[in-house]
Structure 1
Amino acid sequence: MVNYRLSQQHLNLLTNCPRKFQYLYLHNLGVPITSAEQERLNWGSQFHLLMQQKELGLPIESLILENQEMLLCFNNFSQAASEILSSETQDDIILRQAEHHRSFNFKGYILTAIYDLLIAKNKQAQIFDWKTYRYPKNQEKLAQNWQTRLYLYLLVETSKYLPEAVSMTYWFIQPKSEKLPYKLTFSYNQQAHKKTEQDLQKILDNLTDWLKNYQEKGLEFPQVQILDTCYTCQFSSPCQGFSEVYNREGEGVSTDISADLIFSLDNIPEIVI
């Protein structure tokens, strides 16, 4: 079997809609995005680059002097997160690295993660991630998102830290806002680690079966037939999951999906929370 490399994005898709995973990664179908979405993605990439260069001790003036919005957000973040942006060295830090890569072989699949910032000390380790959108209303969804779960799991499996010694903190830096950024920290424990491992086992067992049936029998990956999910999906037309939901529920509403709806990403967030 090919050693597929799986990130949190892949795991979220396999959990939420395996058929969408098939379209994106087996059919190599692209997802059109609006100009507004592209602008937001570009801003997020620029902020991540800014934070990476700051951590590496590289000049950042060119990234902020001509961008007042970026300068404001960076100054606000520096004020709110002074404890992690401090240039003072600490004797107990073993590793401090931006854009830190981790990978782990699990059942023949390579699980991968990139931490925006990892600070590893003698007795504890912290993962930091920068989010360039507003503070989430539903924190439990973020706790269950595969970014949170996979990042913590990989750190424990690839180090000597116990689950209770690691944590993950999200910082929410919202563009065009003068408010100080908010943070949300998730702790970890042995019970959560075991549950994540069990869920990974189930997902990857399913993936192995789906891939085998797809390659040998031409069978498609399972659909998720949830009205809200199908209604906003870019692949509603080829998948027909949206149509099947309506047929099953007997709504008697037209199942014709307009191009404007299929290709709209205005309501799709950066991360499912």
Structure 2
Amino acid sequence: MLNRPVKRLASQPSFVFSQHSLQDYADCPRRFWLRYLEQLAWPSPPVEPLEEYERHRLLGEQFHRLAHQAFLGIDLNLLRQLAESDALLSSWWANFMRLFPAVNTGERKVEFALSVPVKQYRLFARFDLIQKHTAPLRWVIWDWKTGEKTSTASRLSQRWQTRVYRYVLVEAGQTIFGQNAPQPQDVEMVYWFAAAPEKSVRLPYSQEQFEKDREDILQWIEWIEKDDVFPPTTEEKRCRFCVYRSFCDRGIAGNLLDWEEEEEEPEAFSFNFDQVTEIHF
């Protein structure tokens, strides 16, 4: 463990919160501190075997690029040929092509980034796809998942990704969509699993949940502001997939088959924040 004073959130007044940073703090305050306040490089692989994990991660990135290009109107035969470079990627792409006619309709915002203010900070979300339908008016947030493991509606509804994405879309909706801004009851989020599309999960929203999300987001940020210890989690099974476990002397890497991709890939803030749609109040 690092032998130096604990940095607090006050040391980063322009901090940008996201689904990953909130989930990290919920899972393990120590991981939040190491990743976001100390900003340490990852010392350990999240899963084993490492080679297969790296292959799977890179294929996931390639899938997201291909999906983006499909919405941009790139020739689908060309994209299919690119996907055929790997059998796993090809199978994901075949599944996506069966979905594509349904998601390539209405008003769409692809690989779209939004941020809204919370206190003096920002809360950031980057969407794979926001699809607006008319008759009836509704908005669907699509999120492509390429991990080997799927998840359930009850679990996903509690994850910060679900809560942040739906909240940010509604909170920022007036600026994006004008008079026809999304109301919570008109929004749903769909997790689409590339390897098992039949297990995809739809999560509707509500005014009650929107108000609870707003309250909880503010509460959790205030807890983080006050934290001057950032203790490690007491649930050591979570350490199997933590890249910082060597700092806490906790176990070995988990298996790729048990890994859920959204738990371990923080956003790479490699783009220009000037290009993010930021909502002011």
Q: Which residue of 1 is the match for residue 24 of structure 2? A: 13
> What is the CA–CA distance in structure 2 between the aligned matches of 1:82 and 1:60, rounded to whole Å?
12
Q: Which residue of 2 is the match for residue 78 of structure 1? A: 97
Change (3 A) 1:231 1:99: closer
Residue deviations 1:118-158, cap 9 Å, x none? 11245321111111134624331111111111000001111
Any conservation in 2 of the 1:50–1:60 contact (CA below 8 Å)?
no
Matches within 5 A, 1:1-273: 2-31=13-42, 32-33=44-45, 34-59=50-75, 61=77, 63-68=79-84, 69=87, 70-85=89-104, 93=106, 95-121=107-133, 123-134=137-148, 136-159=150-173, 160-174=181-195, 182-210=199-227, 213=228, 220-230=229-239, 233-239=242-248, 242=250, 257=251, 261=252, 266=256, 267-272=258-263
Q: Across the two proteins, how many residue pairs are aligned to each other?
A: 235
- Quick one: percent identity of the two aligned structures? 27
Query: Structure 1 residue 102: deviation in Å?
Result: 1.0
Query: Structure 1 residue 272: deviation in Å?
Result: 4.2
Higher relative contact order (CA closer than 8 Å, sequence separation 6+): 2
> What is the CA–CA distance in structure 2 between the aligned matches of 1:127 and 1:18, rounded to whole Å?
29
Any conservation in 2 of the 1:37–1:265 contact (CA below 8 Å)?
no
Please give the root-mean-square deviation of Cα atoms over the aligned residues, in Å.
2.5
Query: Structure 1 residue 63: deviation in Å?
Result: 4.5
Any conservation in 2 of the 1:234–1:264 contact (CA below 8 Å)?
no
Change (3 A) 1:82 1:60: closer
Instruction: Name structure 2 gaps, 5 residues minimum.
Output: 1-9, 174-180, 265-281
What is the identity, as a one-letter code, of the residue corresponding to 1:38? E
> What is the CA–CA distance in structure 1 between the aligned matches of 2:126 and 2:185, rounded to whole Å?
21
Change (3 A) 1:61 1:142: same
What is the identity, as a one-letter code, of the residue corresponding to 2:212? K
TM-score by length of 2: 0.75
Instruction: Name structure 1 gaps, 5 residues minimum.
Output: 87-92, 214-219, 243-256
Give 3-state SS (helix, strand or coil) of 1:105's partner: strand
Q: Which residue of 1 is the match for residue 178 of structure 2? A: none
TM-score by length of 1: 0.77
> What is the CA–CA distance in structure 2 between the aligned matches of 1:103 and 1:7, rounded to whole Å?
9
